[in-house]
Amino acid sequence: MPELPEVETLKNALLPLIKNQVLEEMIFHRADLRFPIPIGLLDQKMTGQRVADVARKGKYLLWEVAEGAMVLHLGMSGRVVQRPSPQPVEKHCHAVFKFSSNVFLHFIDPRRFGCIVWAPRESGHPLLNHLGPDPLTADASPERMKQFAQNRKTSIKAFLMDAHQLAGVGNIYACESLFRSGIHPLRQAGRLSLKRWGKLMTELKTVLQESIKAGGSTLRDFYGADGSPGYYSTRFTVYGREHQPCMNCQESISRLVQTGRSTFYCKHCQK
Ligand SMILES: [Zn+2]
């Protein structure tokens, strides 16, 4: 599944290709993904417009133009790849974007949990408006997170993965940051001290940055050199390691299920 680091890498790959370029044509091969695609509206607002910037919030990618932004989400299986022509190469190519630089970008999403929507500059879009701060920005400070979590009885793991509190933190990065900061995943979010929030946010930012750095190599896939999905295979310290020895204390890594997702943690190192 594309996580925040993959979306950041994609943003960085797109910037030199489409920033300040005119989006000349959009071809949609279907009218809905997770939500209906507002094709007429997008055509009216985006076609012929210069892309002023490519931005990211959480796992959403924004192609900004004068009146707002086209917002893309990759869902469970989405990719954006550069191809030599508008002709679909992959089976699940749902949209093609042609730029004045003769760049063709294909949006591919076999499971169709992704989305493409329009966010007006003034009112935004409900998907974005209710998002918490992006974890890589200064807005996601320990002070602010502690304030958000005040009186919350939910577990810290569920809190980290709640997009209304913090944008785009997936299961892998929640597990990794809790392990690295020694915080038990079942600890109540509202009872975490400011000092521990400080450690947690530092570790979260660090593990995300490490993955972004490691992701440079997957740009090969973006440019179409091979057919693999190209999601990061960063070696994680706790995620997916049930029954394997903890890298700190050698005790066996445990697993529990929280809000339907597996949490991997060390009973000895995380309190
Ligand atoms: Zn341990």
Q: What's the pLDDT score for residue 215?
A: 72
In a 10 Å sphere around its CB, with 0-12 CB exposed, 13-18 middle and 19+ buried, how is residue 250 labelled?
exposed
Average pLDDT over residues 56-81: 95
The CA distance from 177 to 184, in Å, is: 11
The whole-angstrom separation of Cα 107 and Cα 83 is: 10
Per-residue pLDDT averaged across 237-266, rounded?
Answer: 96
> Is residue 109 predicted with pLDDT exceeding 60?
yes
SS3 247: coil
Each residue's pLDDT tens digit, 132-175: 999 999 999 999 999 999 999 999 999 999 999 999 999 999 99
Q: Which domains are present in the chain?
A: 4-129 (3.20.190.10), 142-265 (1.10.8.50)
Residue 264 alpha carbon to ligand 1 centre in Å? 11
The CA-to-CA distance between both ends of the chain, in Å, stands at 29
In terms of DSSP H, where are the helices of the chain?
4-18, 39-46, 126-129, 142-149, 156-160, 171-180, 194-214, 219-222
Report the separation in Å between the CA atom of 181 and the middle of ligand 1, taken as the mean of its atom positions: 12
Q: Give this prediction's pTM.
A: 0.91
Is the pLDDT reported for residue 227 higher than 50?
Answer: no
How far, in Å, from the CA of 247 to the mean position of ligand 1? 7
97 - beta bridge partners? Answer: 26, 105
Residue 201 burial class via C-beta count within 10 angstroms: exposed 0-12, middle 13-18, buried 19 and up: buried
Sheet arrangement for strand 104-108: 23-28, 93-99, 104-108, 79-83
Distance 19 CA to ligand 1 centre (A): 46
268 CA distance to ligand 1 middle (Å): 5
Token pair belonging to 1:
């599944």
Q: Measured in angstroms, how far is the CA atom of residue 197 from the centroid of ligand 1?
A: 20
Residue 226 clears pLDDT 50, i.e. is over it:
no
Spatial neighbors of 3 by CB under 8 A, at least 6 apart, are 59, 168, 170, 172, 173, 211, 231, 232
Which token pair is 117? 């929507």
- Are the beta carbons of 28 and 97 closer than 8 angstroms? no
Q: Looking at residue 232, what is its pLDDT?
A: 53
**What tens digit of pLDDT does each residue of 179-193 get?**
999 999 999 999 999
Pick 236 or 106 by higher pLDDT.
106
Kindly report the number of other CB atoms within 10 A of residue 242's CB atom: 14
Q: What is the pLDDT of residues 198-211, one digit of tens each?
A: 999 999 999 999 88
Q: Which two tokens stand for residue 251?
A: 């005790």
Phi, psi angle pair for 123, to nearest 5°: -100, -10
As a whole number, mean pLDDT of residues 21-41 equals 97
**Above 70 in pLDDT, residue 234?**
no
- Distance (Å) from CA 269 to ligand 1 centroid: 4
CA of 243 to the centre of ligand 1 (A): 12
Over the chain, what is the mean pLDDT?
92
Q: What average pLDDT does this structure show over 221-235?
A: 48
The answer on pLDDT for 87 being more than 90 is yes
Helices (H), 67-141: 126-129
Q: Which residues are catalytic?
A: 2-3, 59, 261
What is the model's pLDDT at position 71? 98
